[in-house]
């Protein structure tokens, strides 16, 4: 899958982290990386709704950390327990900022943001990271001076309204993302997420794009999937519920299922089963280990047959519309709203979930 940064609202580091959290980035693993790096800070997240968009707002505390010189920042990245791709991304972004802020120091929060975003793009954008052109306001409002210097000599999109582009956002955009080709063929959007910064109006939207994995689902027919499963008899009910919830929202996971039974010595146990595409095994397998602490899992390649389907919108009471799947059976097209989209719409409207389904049905008042 490829990670796509939608740049119409600009670019800023903290909202990037929030958008990736919405797309399933393992925030526990990210917190571990940040803690192991030696930076005296931690991430705080909060579900919010702003401007009609639901997403995750991210803050890094404490914000009062002292500034760090560039060599100290580079040493942090060199020592961090991350893959080389993450380290190169963070150092590349740092070098761009070094060329702009010639006083020799950066806020420690910015250093943490560079590391976090580099980690997130490496985790979610296994097949690459794409982005559109950054906006440049004709009035100049919203573009930080450091960002303006980074964007000099690079193509931008002129906009009439305000464009929020921070220096860190511009550096991350220039280092971690390749420019998307407008002529690229059809792609399948697996997921979309919005992120915000706490105490800021900045907003970033990201998407996970699949160029090939869902072709069978679009056209119908046979496809190969991977089934991962493990027996669980060492977790509490709360831990099992949390694992299922996190795994269900992990990018690449097609489905999760839990089966209860009796194991050796008549002990209660359960079977946790996860479906994914073979190309997503590394990410999903890591998530399965992280969320369950199982000592191993079994895997099997399966063939499955699927109906042709496409994404669209479906009414959900009043003038609301939610994401939905359209599919065909015997030449008849049916629509099924996405359960997550229904839940978010119900929360935003302050309604119970059944209200959206019942509101869309015709009613007749008895006389």
% of the chain with per-residue pLDDT over 90: 34
Higher pLDDT, 46 or 220: 46
pLDDT of 255 above 60? yes
Which tens digit of pLDDT belongs to each residue from 297-324?
A: 999 999 998 888 877 788 877 777 888 8
Three-state DSSP at 251 gives coil
The phi-psi region of residue 51 (left if phi > 0; otherwise alpha if psi is between -120 and 50; otherwise beta) is left
Half-sphere exposure of 98 (CA within 13 A, CB side): 13
Higher pLDDT, 351 or 117: 117
**Cα–Cα dist 232/272, whole Å:** 7
**Cα–Cα dist 216/221, whole Å:** 6
- Asked if 12 and 171 count as a contact pair (C-beta separation under 8 A), the reply is no
Q: ∠51-54-60 over CA atoms, to 5°?
A: 95
- DSSP percent split of the chain into helix, strand, coil, nearest 5: 35, 35, 30
**Cα–Cα dist 132/182, whole Å:** 9
206: which 2 tokens? 């990201």
pLDDT of 360 above 70? no
Measured in whole angstroms, the distance separating CA 341 from the mean position of its chain's CA atoms is: 16
Alpha helices in the chain (DSSP H): 13-22, 27-36, 70-79, 84-100, 108-124, 145-151, 167-176, 215-219, 237-248, 281-292, 339-349, 353-359
The phi-psi region of residue 80 (left if phi > 0; otherwise alpha if psi is between -120 and 50; otherwise beta) is beta
25: which 2 tokens? 């980035």
The total of other beta-carbon atoms located within 10 Å of residue 191's CB is 18
**Cα–Cα dist 1/279, whole Å:** 9
Task: Rank 53-57, 207-211, 239-243, 343-347 by mean pLDDT and report only the highest.
Answer: 239-243
The total of other beta-carbon atoms located within 10 Å of residue 353's CB is 13
The phi-psi region of residue 164 (left if phi > 0; otherwise alpha if psi is between -120 and 50; otherwise beta) is beta
Respond yes or no on whether the N-terminal peptide bond of residue 62 is cis (omega within 30° of 0). yes
Residue 62 sits at φ, ψ, to 5 deg, of -80, 150
What's the whole-model pTM score? 0.70
Confidence at residue 91, expressed as pLDDT on a 0 to 100 scale: 94
Confidence at residue 306, expressed as pLDDT on a 0 to 100 scale: 86
Residue 139 sits at φ, ψ, to 5 deg, of -85, -15
Half-sphere exposure of 179 (CA within 13 A, CB side): 9
- pLDDT band for 366, please (50, 70, 90 cuts): very low
Cα distances from 6 to residues 30, 75, 288, 341, in angstroms, run 22, 31, 29, 20
% of the chain with per-residue pLDDT over 70: 91
**Cα–Cα dist 76/96, whole Å:** 17
pLDDT of 367 above 50? no
Place of tokens 């192991």: 36
* Nearest CA-CA partner of 356 in 314, 327, 326, 325: 314
Instruction: For the chain, list the domains and their CATH numbers.
Output: 2-210 (no CATH), 217-306 (3.30.70.1380), 309-359 (no CATH)
Q: ∠277-282-288 over CA atoms, to 5°?
A: 90
302: which 2 tokens? 């399966």
């Amino acid at each position: 899958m490829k990670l796509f940064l939608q740049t119409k609202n600009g670019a800023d580091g903290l909202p990037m982290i929030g958008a990736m959290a919405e797309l399933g980035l393992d925030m526990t693993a990210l917190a571990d990386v940040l803690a192991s790096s030696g930076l005296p800070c931690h991430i705080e997240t909060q579900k919010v709704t702003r401007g009609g968009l639901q997403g995750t707002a991210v803050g890094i505390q404490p914000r009062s950390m002292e500034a760090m010189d560039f060599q100290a920042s580079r040493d942090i990245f060199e020592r961090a327990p991350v893959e080389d791709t993450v380290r190169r991304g963070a150092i590349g972004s740092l070098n761009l900022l070094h060329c702009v802020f010639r006083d020799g120091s950066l806020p420690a929060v910015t250093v943490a943001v560079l590391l976090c975003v580099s980690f997130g793009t490496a985790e979610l954008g296994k097949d690459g990271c794409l982005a559109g052109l950054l906006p440049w306001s004709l009035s100049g409002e919203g573009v930080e001076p450091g960002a303006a210097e980074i964007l000099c000599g690079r193509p931008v999109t002129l906009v009439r309204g305000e464009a929020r582009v921070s220096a860190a956002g511009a550096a991350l955009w220039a280092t971690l993302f390749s420019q998307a080709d407008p002529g690229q063929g059809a792609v399948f959007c697996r997921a979309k997420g919005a992120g915000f910064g706490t105490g800021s109006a900045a907003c970033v939207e990201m998407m996970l794009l699949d160029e090939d994995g869902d072709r069978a689902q679009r056209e119908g027919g046979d496809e190969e999937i991977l089934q991962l499963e493990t027996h669980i008899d060492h977790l509490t009910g709360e831990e099992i519920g949390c694992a299922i919830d996190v795994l269900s929202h992990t990018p690449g996971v097609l489905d999760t299922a839990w089966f209860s039974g009796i194991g050796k010595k008549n002990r209660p146990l359960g079977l946790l089963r996860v479906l994914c595409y073979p190309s997503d095994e590394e990410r999903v397998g890591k998530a399965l280990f992280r969320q369950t602490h199982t000592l191993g899992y079994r895997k099997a390649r399966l063939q499955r047959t699927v109906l042709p389907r496409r994404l669209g919108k479906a009414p959900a009471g009043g003038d609301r519309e939610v994401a939905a799947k359209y599919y065909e059976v015997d030449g008849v097209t049916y629509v099924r709203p996405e359960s997550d989209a229904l839940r978010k719409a119900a929360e935003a409207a302050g309604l119970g979930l059944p209200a959206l389904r019942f509101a869309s049905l015709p009613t007749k008042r008895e006389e």
